[in-house]
Amino acid sequence: MLGESAPSFNANSTNGTFEFPKDFGNSWKILLSHPKDFTPVCTSEILQLAQMQSEFEELGVKLAIISTDKLESHFEWKQLMEDILIESGHSDHIEFPLIEDDNGRISNKYGMLHAWENPTQDVRGVFIINPQNEIKSINFYPMNIGRNMEEIKRVVVALQISEKDQVLIPVNWNEGDDVLMKYVPYSKQELAVNPDLENQYYKVGVNMWYKKQGVK
Ligand code: BEZ
């Protein structure tokens, strides 16, 4: 559930063994599940993530991928995807781990196995976890629909700004857009002392106070 501590687990992966989330340290983390190695939608998703690795790294985010496949399968699939990346002119290696969960132990802990869809393969889960290892966002997508990785990145940016500046994120927000205030941002007295406040905030309707971005 949102706000809960991310359940911890020990894992074997293409990057060796680790304890999640502890060994990912003080980063943001995204744990993404997928149904099956070598399938077309899953392959397209991992290739996209591989091309966005540096963007996630710049945001202080570490990625981890999980499915109910065996480690041997993960290694073979990873090699195939790295070959595709190089063939298509990308030099990217897949830096993030592909986690083995062939007995579904971890997937069950995270509710990634939806029995009515498929009892043994994960749905497409996205768990965004903050540096304090609290789960901040959960999404599940159907097996036949690939995720929008730009949208996942947008949510990370939104969560980070919301947390850092104590603001709210309005509908259809994109990085650089104005944000919403949690409270009325200034009193009449404060405005009298600092008239520039009127240039930093504006009101829509009765209760939507926006803070202009790019303005101090
Ligand atoms: C795919 O990744 O292509 C896929 C996986 C499971 C079910 C349907 C599609």
Task: State yes or no: pLDDT of 215 exceeds 60.
Answer: no
Q: How many residues are given for the chain?
A: 216
Task: State yes or no: pLDDT of 144 exceeds 70.
Answer: yes
Indicate whether residue 35 lines ligand 1 (CB < 6 A): yes
Ligand 1 centre to CA of 141 (Å) is: 11
- Pocket probe mutation, ligand 1, options 46, 144, 145, 147, max atoms within 8 Å of Cβ: 144
The per-residue pLDDT for range 97-113, each reduced to its tens digit, is 999 999 999 999 999 99
**Percent of residues, the chain, with pLDDT higher than 90:** 97
Instruction: Record the tokens describing residue 143, joined without a space.
Output: 């097996």
Which residue among 32, 42, 85, 129 is the active-site one?
A: 42
Ligand 1 centre to CA of 144 (Å) is: 5
* Arithmetic mean of pLDDT, 157-181: 97
Q: HSE of 52 in the Cβ direction (CA atoms, 13 Å)?
A: 19
The per-residue pLDDT for range 116-131, each reduced to its tens digit, is 999 999 999 999 999 9
125 φ, ψ (degrees, to nearest 5): -100, 145
* Arithmetic mean of pLDDT, 67-95: 94
pTM: 0.95
Ligand 1 centre to CA of 203 (Å) is: 46
Note if 15 is an active site residue.
no
Nearest CA to ligand 1 atom 7: 143
Strands, sheet with 28-33, edge to edge from the N-terminal-most edge strand: 16-20, 9-13, 98-100, 61-67, 28-33, 124-129, 135-141
Closest CA to 126 of 85, 101, 156: 156
Closest CA to 94 of 126, 141, 52: 52
Ligand 1 centre to CA of 40 (Å) is: 6
Res 92: pLDDT: 72
Indicate whether residue 39 lines ligand 1 (CB < 6 A): yes
Task: State yes or no: pLDDT of 216 exceeds 60.
Answer: no
Q: Are 68 and 102 in contact (CB under 8 A)?
A: yes
Q: CA distances (Å), 83 to each of 9, 64, 79, 80, in order?
A: 31, 20, 6, 5
Indicate whether residue 207 lines ligand 1 (CB < 6 A): no
Task: State yes or no: pLDDT of 8 exceeds 70.
Answer: yes
**Percent of residues, the chain, with pLDDT higher than 70:** 99
Nearest CA to ligand 1 atom 9: 144
The per-residue pLDDT for range 170-196, each reduced to its tens digit, is 999 999 999 999 999 999 999 999 999
Ligand 1 atom at shortest distance from the alpha carbon of 45: 2
Ligand 1 centre to CA of 9 (Å) is: 26
Res 104: pLDDT: 98
Ligand 1 atom at shortest distance from the alpha carbon of 44: 2
